[in-house]
Every structure is written in C-alpha cells, then in structure tokens.
Structure 1
C-alpha cells in the first residue's frame, strides 16, 4: 500500500484565493478592509521568519497588515498597553502576539488581554470555552487546518475513531473538540499514556502533535488510516545541514496508511491560510455581517 499524499500547500493556496476573493467583495460591497496586527517581542530568528510570512500573506489576501516589533526587554505592562490600544482600534480586526515571548512576560496574561472577538489565534479562554461547548468562536488555526485536510480525504467523519497524540492547548485539546463536533470517537493520548503504539493502532484517523521527531513509527499505524502530522522538527544532518521532519516516520507510515500529510508541505501552510480566514471572519462579525463562505474551490 502506498498512502495518498494530502497536499496542504495546494489546499492552503486554494483557501487563500477564496479568502482574497471574499475580502475583495467585502471591500466592494461594504467598504470594509480586514486588518491584522501582528506583535513580535524580541529577535527570535524562527519567529521573525514566521511573522514575515504572515505579513506577506496578509497583504497578498488584500488585507491591511499592522506590524509591531518590540525589543527583547519590553516590559509586560508596555505589551499589555499596546494590546489594549489594538483592541479598541477599529481598523484592526485581528490581534496576534507571536509566541514564544521572552521569559519575563507571562504569556497567559498576554493572551487573556486580547479581545476574544479579535483573537484570531483562537487561544483566549473564551474562545476555548466556546469551542468546547459547541458555540461560535474563533478556532485555533492549526487544528482548523487539520480539519480541512481531513475533509480532503473523508466526506464524512462521523463514527470514525480519531486518536490525537498530544494534549497541548494550541493543538491537541482543540483538535479533540473539533473531532468530537464531527461525531468522531476521540481518544487523546500523551506522555503518560500506557502502550502508545497499541493506542495509535486503533485509529482510523491519527493526529500527531507532540514535537518529537519521528516518534510515530510505521508499525503504529493501522492499515488504511489517515495520518495528520502536525510536527515540524528541525534536525541537523551529520554534514551540518538541516532538514525539517515531522512527528511521524513518513516513509514507514506511508507504506501502511491510506493517506498522510508530508512535512514540510502538509499542515504548516494551512496554519497561515486559516489565520487569514479567521481574520476575515472576525472582521465580518465585528461589522455585524454573516460569516463568509470560505469553502475552497475543488482541487484539480
């Protein structure tokens, strides 16, 4: 068996095209242009690259991009003051604070300060609570992207057994909630779970989100299962060059699974595309408009 490769890069491009079209229509009919403010504290190289990509993609979608780059020694009070200003700025519909923050700043306090209506990362406890109770809210971008990738493979998820490997607030927990909302039977496994391979082999859908390179081996996969690899791990080869690999041993898993996302080119591109989608949704809700239809055009 050779698994179908689920192309996150292609789906992300289709979603961004849809977002750009809806954004243009919103401007033409309502005179409204969604705006995304991205706040970066410090000079972490990986964060800088990611933030630049977000800004570029925001502009490509026809949205306003507001950049706030603060020095490493910025105090927590100053950061909270900036967030308060962004919360009340009518041109800003989405506020994103890039993580990780410097050690002297409490990330939970910062995330809690963002207006839930502008929390396009979906990390605020209000949005987490809405997701858990089935109410409308802003959904974390990576799990939202994972769900869209799953729908590329499965028209109906109802009744499938989904195993989520990882229990973080950013991916694992919201992923489980989204799968429950699709009527999956959901098992969440983590570092304290007993016999991880056995639990993973039960999955029709396996979502790996633990940040451990190639933890999931081929013999952990149920034949024909769909594997969503959220991990992005930078590993250095013996010659000193680096490469990105996932939490799943891709070649081994692809020989067993029915479908699998690659790393890179799977979940990663979907995260930024879903950030743009959340910004558009947030702008519509703040203007009292219905949520836009963001169903991507069918792939080729």
Structure 2
C-alpha cells in the first residue's frame, strides 16, 4: 500500500507537481505519532490557540491533510477540535461531516484504522458481518467467535480472545492496543485484545501487536492524504 502511494507521489513530482503535504498537530505528550511534518504545542496550549492554528492550516493551500493527535489535554474539547478541521483536509475522518457522509453511504474520508482493516479484508476476502461488543456475555461471545472465519477485535480488553474461543484456520485482525505490566520483567508492554501466543497456533493469519494494524493505519492515512491532494471527494 505504501509502495502504491509512493508510485503516485513519484509520478506527481516527475510531472512537476508539488508533493502532497500532511500536517500533524501534537498537543502535550503522546506516544503515538507518525512520520510527517509535526507541529508540537505545549500541554498548556489553550483551545482558542489550537483552533487558531487549525484555521491557519485550513487556509494554507500547501497543506492537503490535517490530523490532530488524540487524545488532547482535558481542558480542550475534542469534538470542537475535530470539527474545526476543514472536512476536505480531515484525513482522519473525524469531522461530523465525514462521519455523516460515511453513514449516508456518500464519499467521505474514513478513519484510517477501520479503513486499513477493510483494506486487509478487501484484498484477501469478502464477508458477512456479525457484531458483538465488550459487554456481550462471555458464553454468547464464544458462540459467535467460534463460528467466525475472520475475527476483527477492538474492545480495549487485554487478551480477551483466547485459543478456546476460535476455530482452526481463523483469520484474526487485532486492533487492540493495551499497556500492561509484564509479570516476568516488571516492565510495561503492549498487547492486543487477542492472546497472540495461544490464538496464533490455531489461526491461518493473525496481526501482531505492536506491528500489525498500526503500520496499515499509517499507510491508509497516506492514502487519505493523497485523496485530499487530488481532491477526489467533492464537499460542495
């Protein structure tokens, strides 16, 4: 996917065009970030100042995509920030215009993580979807997970899905990112919502945490930025 975006960019540059430009705003300290131009603002930054920065980027014709790294500090209203971004530059797909257009089956920027999951499935398979959630009773949840050919997990519960809950040959996409204490080392480590060690012995395909869906999310963000650059979505 990154190679596909690179080929598009190379073609644009070779024909004399400017490179697509993504701007990422980080307010305070956050471990998650991508490789791009970053505007770092202190945690004490007021909501008014942040909105002014976003407005300036909205008006900058050299900026194609804008992403505000979430979460923002508690004194800033997250929804106000997401809605301050020009929908045509909202490559994270969090503006209510993009959310609404997506729900209405219209062209829209789709958030990069679910878009990445769909890209994985689209390139390898098709499926009928069944939805459970973190409050589905365990015995009922197991009924559904055991019948799944493709299992996409995003609950925020470490190691929720264990080997006895899946069938042989299942394909597993683990979106969970949980920080837990390693009992052996005492250090904090990242784990998914799936017991990777156990489930990987039965799965035909499984994404690890970290290093699985994360890089695909970044790739989809680049693809969304390319869409914004090419103005493929008409917001008029």
TM-score calculated relative to the size of structure 2:
0.90
Aligned to 2:132: 189
CA distance in 1, matches of 2:8, 2:123: 22
Aligned to 1:280: 226
CA distance in 1, matches of 2:105, 2:16: 29
Deviation at residue 286 of structure 1 after TM alignment = 6.9
Q: Indicate if the aligned counterparts of 2:177 and 2:192 stay in contact, CA closer than 8 A.
A: yes
Q: Determine whether 1:205 maps to 2:150.
A: yes
Deviation at residue 225 of structure 1 after TM alignment = 2.2
Q: Determine whether 1:54 maps to 2:35.
A: yes
CA distance in 1, matches of 2:210, 2:26: 24
Deviation at residue 122 of structure 1 after TM alignment = 1.1
Q: Determine whether 1:42 maps to 2:23.
A: no
Q: Determine whether 1:18 maps to 2:4.
A: yes
Aligned to 1:217: 162
Deviation at residue 117 of structure 1 after TM alignment = 0.7
Q: Indicate if the aligned counterparts of 2:148 and 2:170 stay in contact, CA closer than 8 A.
A: yes
Q: Determine whether 1:96 maps to 2:67.
A: yes
Aligned to 1:250: 196
- Gaps of at least 5 residues in structure 2 are none
- Gaps of at least 5 residues in structure 1 are 1-14, 56-64, 161-184, 289-300
Q: Deviations over 1:168-218 (max 9, x none)?
A: xxxxxxxxxxxxxxxxx3222113323222222232221101121111111
**Could you say what secondary structure the match of 1:91 adopts?**
coil
Q: After TM superposition, list the pairs within 5 Å mapping 1:24-173 onto structure 2.
A: 24-29=10-15, 31-44=17-30, 46=31, 50-51=32-33, 53-55=34-36, 65=37, 67-154=38-125, 157=126, 160=127
CA distance in 2, matches of 1:247, 1:113: 32
Q: Indicate if the aligned counterparts of 1:153 and 1:259 stay in contact, CA closer than 8 A.
A: no
**Could you say what secondary structure the match of 1:244 adopts?**
strand
CA distance in 2, matches of 1:255, 1:140: 31
Match of 1:235 among 170, 176, 180: 180
Deviation at residue 82 of structure 1 after TM alignment = 1.1
Aligned to 1:8: none
Higher relative contact order (CA 8 A, sep 6+): 1
Deviation at residue 21 of structure 1 after TM alignment = 1.8
User: Pairwise CA RMSD of aligned residues?
Assistant: 2.0
